[in-house]
């Protein structure tokens, strides 16, 4: 997605793979980046990382979709956060690539749904490299392979204070590791969807791709879809 006033302008993008980061730290980092981008102190950014086992519940707020009580959460070592993105409950954990794009979107001609579709397209295009035919379900946000969800998407559009438009936060969670569905998603009704399942890249392909390898492969697709000029940030 290019700036609204010139479809050929490339947006600068700082991108980095962080590795494993506590959810609370990542959330505070996003808030700081949003403020800095708004004030012109930081380039637009893409944070790629993993979280320790965590459930996050978005603004749709369906507590009944959490199937574990407090004692069971503690026993399994899973943290729980009520957060400010859209959507219902989902799982984050090791073996899942989480991406937080922090992008400025011009107010003029802004289509928030188009932003979501672009995030989905990045993942769809990457999966196609492996011959995986992924797509969308019209009634649900995210990326699907048949009736199994491989990537969840939930975002927040933060109103810019210094100019007209919004700065995005939160983003996508792409399942990579085999067995992640049973490992973390079994304790919830993922995104409130009961009739369909969850899968991962390694389950589909039989490969042993690491999350960092997936991040490196996905990044060029993000750059192309969002028409970015990339600056890689070292760890």
Give the 3-state secondary structure percentages of the chain, helix then strand then coil, rounded to 5. Answer: 30, 35, 35
Mode of pairing for the β-strands spanning 140-145 and 148-159: antiparallel
Q: What is the mean pLDDT of residues 224-232?
A: 90
Strand partners of residue 104: 167
What's the predicted TM-score (pTM) here?
Answer: 0.91
Buried b / exposed e over 61-78, threshold 16 CB at 10 Å, is: eeeebbebeeeebeeeeb
Mode of pairing for the β-strands spanning 197-198 and 148-159: parallel
Interval 130-180: pLDDT, tens: 999 999 998 899 999 999 999 999 999 999 988 889 999 999 999 999 998
Q: How confident is the model at residue 2 (pLDDT cuts 50, 70, 90)?
A: very low
Q: How confident is the model at residue 235 (pLDDT cuts 50, 70, 90)?
A: low
As annotated, the active-site residues are 191
Which among 16, 50, 20, 10 has a CA at the least distance from the CA of 33? 16
C-beta separation of 11 from 230 below 8 A:
no
Q: What is the mean pLDDT of residues 76-102?
A: 93
Task: Please state, in angstroms and rounded to a whole number, the distance separating the CA atoms of residues 151 and 174.
Answer: 4
Give the pLDDT confidence score for residue 124 in this predicted structure: 98
Question: Which of 30-39, 101-110, 172-181 has the least mean pLDDT?
Answer: 101-110
C-beta separation of 34 from 105 below 8 A:
no
Q: How confident is the model at residue 234 (pLDDT cuts 50, 70, 90)?
A: low
Q: What is the mean pLDDT of residues 87-91?
A: 87
Interval 3-28: pLDDT, tens: 334 444 568 999 999 999 999 999 99
C-beta contacts of 22-27 below 8 A and 24+ residues apart: 22/51, 22/52, 23/51, 23/52, 23/54, 23/56, 23/79, 23/81, 23/92, 24/81, 26/51, 26/98, 26/100, 27/81, 27/83
**Arithmetic mean of pLDDT over the chain:** 90
Question: CA 207 → CA 48, 54, 142, distances in Å?
Answer: 21, 25, 22
DSSP 154-213: EEEEEEPSSSSEEEEEEEEEEE-STTHHHHHGGGB-GGG--SSEE--HHHHH-----HHH
C-beta separation of 56 from 78 below 8 A:
no
What domains are there in the chain, each with its CATH number? 11-232 (3.30.930.10)
């Amino acid at each position: 997605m290019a700036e609204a006033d010139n479809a050929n302008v490339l947006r600068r993008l700082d991108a980095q793979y962080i590795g494993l980061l506590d959810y609370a730290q990542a959330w505070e980092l996003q808030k700081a980046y949003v403020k800095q981008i708004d004030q012109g102190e930081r380039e637009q950014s893409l944070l790629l990382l993993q979280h320790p086992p965590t459930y996050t519940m978005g603004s749709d707020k369906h507590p009944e979709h959490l199937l574990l009580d407090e004692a069971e959460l503690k026993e399994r070592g899973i943290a729980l956060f009520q957060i400010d993105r859209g959507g219902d409950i989902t799982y984050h954990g090791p073996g899942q690539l989480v991406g937080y794009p922090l992008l400025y979107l011009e107010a003029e001609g802004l289509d928030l749904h188009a932003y979501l579709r672009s995030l989905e397209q990045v993942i769809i295009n990457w999966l196609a490299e492996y011959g995986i035919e992924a797509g969308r379900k019209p009634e649900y946000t995210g990326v699907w392979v048949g009736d199994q969800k491989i990537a969840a998407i939930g975002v927040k559009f933060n109103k810019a204070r210094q100019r007209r438009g919004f700065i995005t936060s939160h983003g996508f969670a792409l399942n990579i590791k085999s067995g992640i569905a049973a490992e973390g998603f079994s304790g919830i009704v993922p995104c409130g969807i009961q009739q369909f399942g969850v899968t991962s890249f390694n389950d589909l392909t039989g490969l042993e791709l690491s999350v960092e390898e997936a991040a490196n492969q996905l990044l060029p697709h993000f750059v192309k879809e969002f028409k970015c000029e990339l600056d890689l940030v070292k760890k």
